[in-house]
Amino acid sequence: MSKARRSAVGAAISPLLYRVPDAAVLLGVSEREVWGMLRRGELPKVTIPGRRMTRIARADLEAVVATWRTGAGEFQPERAER
């Protein structure tokens, strides 16, 4: 498949997995905050077998937002240490 074709297809299809920077943009928080959510277990991570890549499933991002909407979430923004 040509690069132009992949770009056109990719624009029409929403990815199933997101990188941390992309997840941060979608959630409206910093990358540091997303890493903290992953570390605290508030956001499940997907590890690609045989690779050192952390990805976050779209469904998990939507679930986190749903908990924020209901006020049931445990979201605690990380504070910079002084």
Spatial distance between the Cα atoms of 32 and 50, rounded to a whole number of angstroms: 25
Spatial distance between the Cα atoms of 16 and 14, rounded to a whole number of angstroms: 7
The torsion angles phi and psi of 9, rounded to 5 degrees, stand at: -70, -45
Spatial distance between the Cα atoms of 27 and 33, rounded to a whole number of angstroms: 10
pLDDT in tens, the chain (82 residues): 456 555 555 566 889 999 999 999 999 999 999 999 999 999 999 998 898 899 999 999 999 999 988 886 555 555 444 3
Q: How far is CA 49 from CA 18, 46, 69, in A?
A: 16, 9, 33
pLDDT at position 72: 65
pTM of the complete model: 0.69
